[in-house]
Amino acid sequence: MSLALSAMLLLLNLALDGQSQPAERAYWPTHGWRTSSPEAQGMDSQVLARAFDYVRVNHIPIHSLLIVKNGYVVLDAYFFPYRKGQLHDGASMTKSVTSSLIGIAIQDRKLDGLHRPVLTLFPNRSIANRDERKEQMTVEDLLTMSSGLSCDPDHAEMTLQQMRQSADWVQFMLDQRMTSDPGDKFVYCSGGMHLLSGIISQVTGGSALELARRELFGPLGIRNEIWPADPNGVNYGWGDLHLQPQDWAKIGYLWLNQGRWEDRQILPPDWISEATEVHSHPARGDAVGYGYGFWLYPHRSPPEYEALGRGGQRITLTPAENRIVVCTGGGFEPADIGKFIGESIKSSHALPENPAAQTLLAGKVREATSPPEAESGSAGLAARCKTVSGKVYEMDANPLKLKSVSLVFARPDEGTLRLEFAGGRVETRPMGLDGIPRLSRGGLGLPVALLGRWTTDDTFEFDYDEAANIDSYRYRLTFDGNKVEVDVSEKTGLLGAVANFRGNLRAR
């Protein structure tokens, strides 16, 4: 081999190696992500395109899929009715953010370490069920879901629901009795994570959102967020932080880079290493450990860890492959999509560009944003329409606090749904009857998609999909004379089970 050819091959190998190196050496996505073809990062576009076929054929309720490899976005897809640029509820992915804010409070010397007893942080509160075990409970015990506080994760997180009905949510959790020694047993406890948000408020003099805007979101270039707070101004420590998928990915990129962003160490240098160690042992799926607000999978090949939320919300990090995957959805299992991502990874080096496969993938991404094709409007023409349309049915007591339901069928392709809830809330929304969900403005200004159909002459179903707010309900109304039986299920597990109740035609 000639010297010139040897030199050329050496330069080529160096170039390929450079493409597989972490992109933080080249840039930070503070002001926006750079993009790359999948092949440039060792991934196969054609395999990724198959994931879209799987979603379409199986009606998977995914809202977005974002893949970052070596710091470059290789896939950024949005699925109707969710749209790019909208915020999306991260559900319990928020817990991992709350954990990070605890780390920031420690770095800022607002909190003097993880082993600080929790009760000492609330010296001015009178706390019920105080005993030796509760006195020993630490900040770390809350982070690892092993506080020992009484917390029922079943029945749609019963303790969380009870906390939300109380006047002072932080006080409610502090008052819980102890059922085990701190650090002894993992029990999934969203209320414990809310108590951590209360600690952030206590030690910083402001809210978790204020700390995040100043020390986390601001440095990462995150400018648009929604984070609800309890009646006393404490942001939900367990869930409902809304960010855009690309901003969720920024937080994942911070974690992947050990808490460093540009020239700043935002998290303590060892925080991510410690937060992603196994500190407690949940019996849940294939997760073999829980860290500080993270689910851990050290036995996967390669090992991964996740910020995880109900309904399909995920930030999955694979440090060995310098990869971040962000999923959002309304009740799906991300592992179904993960198999295509795994199969698409062919090399740690760049692959030859594949224009045909990249064009195919780009077409699939575009198609995903479009509504389904219209179906015949005959589903809205059932004989029962005439007897039901415009009538108001008053509901018996039910867990949704739904007072009345009314359906109007003025057109074969589109109807109108009116729901009245206790407390005076009334929703009147368009509803597709032709296979295309109709969109209207919902909570936090985010979309609600409604789609209805007659399944029998007496039974009408409609899907009430809150899209970016995750919750996705299916109502089944079975009419019998002046009566109606209502079954309601929720795809993401919010209700815990099917709600069943009855209603009667309102007397004129």
CATH of the domain at 156: 3.40.710.10
- Total count of domains within the chain: 3
Looking at the structure, tell me whether residues 330 and 362 fall in a common domain: yes
504: CB partners within 8 A, 6+ apart: 393, 394, 482, 483, 484
* Within-domain flag for 199: yes
pTM of the model: 0.92
d(CA 495, CA 488) in angstroms, rounded, equals 9
Residue 29 exposed, middle or buried by CB count within 10 Å (0-12, 13-18, 19+): buried
118 and 137 Cβ atoms separated by less than 8 Å: yes
Considering 327, 349, 370, which residue would you say is the last residue of a domain? 370
Looking at the structure, tell me whether residues 492 and 410 fall in a common domain: yes
Looking at the structure, tell me whether residues 322 and 390 fall in a common domain: no
Helices (H) and strands (E) in the chain, counts: 15, 21
Looking at the structure, tell me whether residues 117 and 136 fall in a common domain: yes
Looking at the structure, tell me whether residues 38 and 150 fall in a common domain: no
* Within-domain flag for 304: no
Q: What is the pLDDT of residue 277?
A: 96
Q: What is the pLDDT of residue 148?
A: 97
* Within-domain flag for 301: no
Q: What is the pLDDT of residue 498?
A: 78
Looking at the structure, tell me whether residues 147 and 263 fall in a common domain: no
Q: What is the pLDDT of residue 443?
A: 85
* Within-domain flag for 222: yes
* Within-domain flag for 164: yes
Q: What is the pLDDT of residue 23?
A: 42
Looking at the structure, tell me whether residues 493 and 431 fall in a common domain: yes
Q: What is the pLDDT of residue 156?
A: 85
Considering 243, 264, 294, which residue would you say is the last residue of a domain? 243
* Within-domain flag for 288: no
* Within-domain flag for 298: no
Looking at the structure, tell me whether residues 162 and 99 fall in a common domain: yes
Q: Which residue has the tokens 């509803």?
A: 431
Range of the domain at 209: 93-243
Looking at the structure, tell me whether residues 155 and 192 fall in a common domain: yes
- Tens digit of pLDDT for each residue in 242-299? 999 999 999 999 999 999 999 999 999 999 999 999 999 997 666 689 999 999 999 9
Looking at the structure, tell me whether residues 170 and 198 fall in a common domain: yes
495 and 488 Cβ atoms separated by less than 8 Å: yes
CATH number at residue 392: 2.40.128.20
| Distance between first and last Cα of the chain | 96
* Within-domain flag for 60: yes
Pick out the chain residues at pLDDT < 70: 1-26, 284-287, 377-382, 496-497
Q: What is the pLDDT of residue 12?
A: 35
d(CA 451, CA 431) in angstroms, rounded, equals 5
243 and 222 Cβ atoms separated by less than 8 Å: yes
Considering 351, 370, 389, which residue would you say is the last residue of a domain? 370
Q: What is the pLDDT of residue 494?
A: 79
Looking at the structure, tell me whether residues 383 and 482 fall in a common domain: yes
Looking at the structure, tell me whether residues 230 and 102 fall in a common domain: yes
d(CA 191, CA 142) in angstroms, rounded, equals 9
Q: What is the pLDDT of residue 377?
A: 53
